[in-house]
Structure 1
Amino acid sequence: MATATTRAPRILLGPACLAGALALLPLGYLAVRALERGPGFAWSVMTTEGTAQLLGRSLALAAAVVAACLVLGISLAWLTVRTALPGGRAWSVAVTLPLAVPSYVAAFAWLSAVPGLSGFTGSAVALTLVSYPYVYLPVAAALRGIDPAQEEASRSLGVGPSRTFLRVVLPQLRPAAAGGALLVALYVLSDFGAVSLMRYDTFTRGIYTSYQASFDRTPAAALSVVLVAMTVGLVALETRTRGRRGHARTGTGTARPAVPARLGRWTAPALAWAAAVFAAAVAFPLGTLGYWLATGNRSTWDPAGLFGTALTTLGVAAAGAALTTVLALPVGVVAARHRGRAAGLLEQAAYAGHALPGITVALSMVFFAVRYATPLYQELPLLVCAYAVLFLPLAVAATRAAVLQSPPVLEDVARSLGRGPLNVLRTVTVPLAAPGVAAGAALTFVVCMKELPATLLLRPTGMDTLATRLWTETGVASYADAAPYAAALILLAAVPSYLLGRKR
């Protein structure tokens, strides 16, 4: 008899293929554009010395930010989940709040306070402080799911705390940490706002400059192809790092809660560490915005316009998060339950659009709408589809992790009782994975609110979001006028970030 682990994914292959096709749409655009003047010209662009420099600079920045985020994310997750850190519940919420800070706001805050902090160092600092929660959240969730009996057995054999963590706990955190690191790397490679403000040339800035410099899109498309190749390589590396070992356990929680480790004389340093990260990632940008709000000319502010722009931002982000979650569900289930080549290809396809700069995804959507779906041109559905392409990996990673933690034996039991694959999916798989899926939807909602380049190109005529208004005012150096929009964006994005911390 076929089991749920073999039959349920087959039912989802159709919807998963649809999601993968949407995610691969920008690649079709790149293929058309990059080869428009022949393979030889595209190859000459991809093999120039300038392209090699962009490749090295982008990889160096991604490596530095990933390493820093792993240190921050794992250490904070351990402190808030497995130790008796004073105010641990409050800290677990506080350290997720950097998700609400757009990278370009963080970059502006640091650059305005420390003008010399630009280039590689400034970009690494800004991107690390806004992206380490991508590692913290999955690692914290994994720590809650690890049975403490394994650590106690190690300690009973005379192994010290440090070696127990390295030999018992850390290997079990590898899938969660690797998934979070992949999201951070893709975030860094696709970032445009922070590196532009910090004047650090990466692929995204190089592609944007190429698009702006000429009507010929072929060089920019060729550069984008290199960026896609880097993405595929990173996804393949993460898949190997993750391994093929299952991590399911029976029930909705651990056999019993882990006893929090007492910090003793390390209590003060631990509190100082958590406070320093929060101050640099959240308090400092808010303080900078507070300065501009206090020194700005309030007579030029438009409260009604600000309120309307905020409502528009919430509506567009909600639509983007809803579509992305619906598309990610079949892909995440197939990736978690199916071991075949098709599942791997679908998962890699879902990640393809995330490393593309927003401007490339937006132009591919324009290309598609003008040629094949004219009524969608400069309409809201096109922008929502662009959000789905850009942020599908966030929802897929959350769904896959949630499904992996739901034991497949429960699906097998349901099938043995005569339930069909769709019924098993609806009554067993999805309910067990619902908390993780909801967390992915909330995370997607936050990043949709902060997205900038695709929104600038695809928004309907006359529509503004908080991100586009902020960028417009910042572009003309009206920092005081931009401050209300930046503050509103951070406050709105802080709500789902706070709920993510509370739910965790």
Structure 2
Amino acid sequence: MTSQPLSQRVGAAVRSRPPVVTTLLAVVVALAALIPLAYVLQSAYDAGWSTAEQLIFRPRIGELFANTAKLIGLAVPLSVLLGVGAALVVERTDLPGRSLLALLFAAPLAVPAFVASYAWATVWPSIGGLSGAVLISVAAYFPFVYIPVMATLRRLDPAVEESARALGLGPAAVLWRVVLPQLRLPILGGALLVAMHLLAEYGAFASIRFDTFTTAIYDQFQSTFASAAASMMAGVLVLCCLLLLIGEAGVRGRQRYARLGPGVARRGRPARLGWWSLPVWVGVLVVLATTLGVPGWSITRWLISGGNAVWTSDLVSTLLTTTVYGVIAGVVTVAAALPIAWLAVRHPGRWVRALEGSTFVAASIPGIVVGLAFVSYAIRYAQPLYQTAPLLVAAYAVLFLPRAVVTLRAGIAQAPPSLEEAARSLGASAPAAFVRVALRLIAPTVGASIALSFLGIAGELTATLLLAPTGTRTLATEFWALSGEIDYAGAAPYALLLVVLSLPMTYLLFRQSRKVAGL
């Protein structure tokens, strides 16, 4: 009987037995992420089946479900098409200025969706309905697809595509049969993030009067007598989330994407657009005008209209508070996501997918429900935590775990496990092999995950209103309060600071994502 080499035996052991500590940490994080779901289920139980049945099976729920389904069915595919198309333009064509375009396509992440909605509503007062919601959603969220796809395209070995062309495949066939299959993981991860944000988004749709489950839930919670109805709606949102997770997991499959080395030590030869450069530039300018031009023009207009009076001393303290919470909560979110993302890539299986899926459940629940869940359980079981910074940071981590998990998962998938296994075969313990080998490889991904989490935390609205310690004000809450009073000029400085604060993190996310590509 032939014995296996030591490295193969250790590698098999690493793959077959997930680290105990990592598993325990992932379970703890998953349980914390399920707190909002527990709150929804408890509310349903307290209401009783007859009441729950009356609240769920009614025409209003059908109308909201249709609106939400149409929104996801249109906005997600369009975000994928726009994100993949932008990545291909930047990484696979000779379009002049594509280095600048690479950053500009990521810049819409610096504009929170409710700020973009505010901008469009002031420029186009009649905007609304499904078409308006789709326009704002795609403009705000397509970078979730663009950034990971762009980073993956930079890492792909150009020799594979060149070999396909040498075998007689045309450009379209190479794209469809060679390139796109290798982009499946970032496309699915980005699409899932877009869908989750659409399920939970409130401010962007409230501004243009488009009803979804989230806007209806917020309206119901305006009255203490309607909390049961709101909880039932949140339960339907959770079911929608589970359907999306099952679909994404089924399409994703078990394929591995890691490879040793960068392949050919050169960039691939870009496709020559020729006369196609003109229509491509027209499309690029339309995208930039929609995503950046309208918000920039609207904010500038209201700043000029408001004059010096809108620049108050409260702006500095509000900016500082938002920054501190964003950085601390971003680090906590990524630290919590790392065990789950690691298991999802290194030890895939049904129970690991269940742990991973738990992190997306809370993201599909509106922030106001997450906030109420944390308030309710803090008052009941952890009174000292009520209205404290740690409780708000914990809620942020639960809300934005999917952003970190998806980004970390894509980076870990490209870190070759054989290097870690080699370190184990040379006597290093599992934690030591992780720190010395794996953590160095995924460091750019960790930085990108923190930046992406910060962008969401800085613009979070409804949970912040409920959980922030007394006297705490963030840029998002102040902007929303002023814009809700139709004081658009007073809200403009807060919108501008939100964008200015988010720009460095967007640039960091962009740079770190390109580092993940190894080029």
TM-score, normalization: structure 2? Answer: 0.94
Given the alignment of the two structures, is residue 339 of structure 1 paired with residue 361 of structure 2, yes or no? no
Q: Which residues in structure 2 correspond to 1:274-423 (within 5 Å)?
A: 274-302=284-312, 304-423=313-432
Per the TM alignment, residue 300 of structure 1 is displaced from its structure 2 partner at its CA by 4.7
- Rounded to whole Å, the distance in 2 between the matches of 1:459 and 1:38 is 32
Match of 1:242 in 2: 252
Per the TM alignment, residue 499 of structure 1 is displaced from its structure 2 partner at its CA by 2.4
Per the TM alignment, residue 266 of structure 1 is displaced from its structure 2 partner at its CA by 1.6
Match of 2:6 in 1: none
Identify the match of residue 122 of structure 2 among 112, 129, 135: 112
Match of 2:478 in 1: 469
Q: How big is each residue's C-alpha offset from its partner over 1:160-212, in whole Å with a ceiling of 9 and x where there is no partner? A: 10111111111111111111001001111110001111111100011111111
Match of 1:431 in 2: 440
Q: How big is each residue's C-alpha offset from its partner over 1:263-304, in whole Å with a ceiling of 9 and x where there is no partner? A: 2212222222222211210121011010001111423531x2
Match of 1:13 in 2: 23
Q: How big is each residue's C-alpha offset from its partner over 1:316-343, in whole Å with a ceiling of 9 and x where there is no partner? A: 1111101101100101101111122221
Per the TM alignment, residue 416 of structure 1 is displaced from its structure 2 partner at its CA by 1.2
Q: How big is each residue's C-alpha offset from its partner over 1:354-375, in whole Å with a ceiling of 9 and x where there is no partner? A: 1110000000000111001111
Aligned 8 A contact 1:35 1:218 in 2: no
Q: How big is each residue's C-alpha offset from its partner over 1:397-427, in whole Å with a ceiling of 9 and x where there is no partner? A: 1111111101111122111111111111211
Aligned 8 A contact 1:411 1:424 in 2: yes
Aligned 8 A contact 2:310 2:493 in 1: no
Q: Which residues in structure 2 correspond to 1:53-68 (within 5 Å)?
A: 53-68=63-78
Given the alignment of the two structures, is residue 484 of structure 1 paired with residue 493 of structure 2, yes or no? yes
Identity %: 40
- Rounded to whole Å, the distance in 2 between the matches of 1:374 and 1:463 is 19
Specify the code of the residue in structure 1 equivalent to 2:430: P
Match of 1:81 in 2: 91
Q: Could you say what secondary structure the match of 1:35 adopts?
A: helix
Instruction: Report how many residues are paired.
Output: 503
Aligned 8 A contact 1:312 1:464 in 2: yes
Q: Which residues in structure 2 correspond to 1:193-208 (within 5 Å)?
A: 193-208=203-218
Match of 2:517 in 1: none
- Rounded to whole Å, the distance in 2 between the matches of 1:266 and 1:120 is 32
CA 1:118/1:254 → structure 2, altered by over 3 Å: closer, same or farther? Answer: farther
Q: Could you say what secondary structure the match of 1:259 adopts?
A: coil
Aligned 8 A contact 1:34 1:219 in 2: no
TM-score, normalization: structure 1? Answer: 0.97
- Rounded to whole Å, the distance in 2 between the matches of 1:446 and 1:300 is 24
- Rounded to whole Å, the distance in 1 between the matches of 2:145 and 2:284 is 15
Match of 2:158 in 1: 148
Match of 2:243 in 1: 233
Specify the code of the residue in structure 2 equivalent to 1:17: V
Aligned 8 A contact 2:449 2:509 in 1: no
Match of 1:133 in 2: 143
- Rounded to whole Å, the distance in 1 between the matches of 2:52 and 2:437 is 49
Q: Which runs of 5+ in 1 are unaligned?
A: none
Aligned 8 A contact 1:57 1:202 in 2: yes
Identify the match of residue 269 of structure 1 among 279, 293, 308: 279
Match of 1:124 in 2: 134
- Rounded to whole Å, the distance in 2 between the matches of 1:367 and 1:109 is 35
Aligned 8 A contact 1:144 1:254 in 2: no
Aligned 8 A contact 1:13 1:330 in 2: yes
- Rounded to whole Å, the distance in 2 between the matches of 1:301 and 1:281 is 26
- Rounded to whole Å, the distance in 1 between the matches of 2:80 and 2:73 is 11
CA 1:124/1:33 → structure 2, altered by over 3 Å: closer, same or farther? Answer: same
Q: How big is each residue's C-alpha offset from its partner over 1:246-265, in whole Å with a ceiling of 9 and x where there is no partner? A: 11110256553212222221
- Rounded to whole Å, the distance in 1 between the matches of 2:375 and 2:498 is 27
Aligned 8 A contact 1:353 1:389 in 2: yes
Deviates further, 260-269 or 133-142: 260-269
Identify the match of residue 441 of structure 1 among 428, 443, 450: 450
Aligned 8 A contact 1:11 1:422 in 2: no
Aligned 8 A contact 1:5 1:412 in 2: no
Q: Could you say what secondary structure the match of 1:296 adopts?
A: helix
Q: Could you say what secondary structure the match of 1:55 adopts?
A: helix
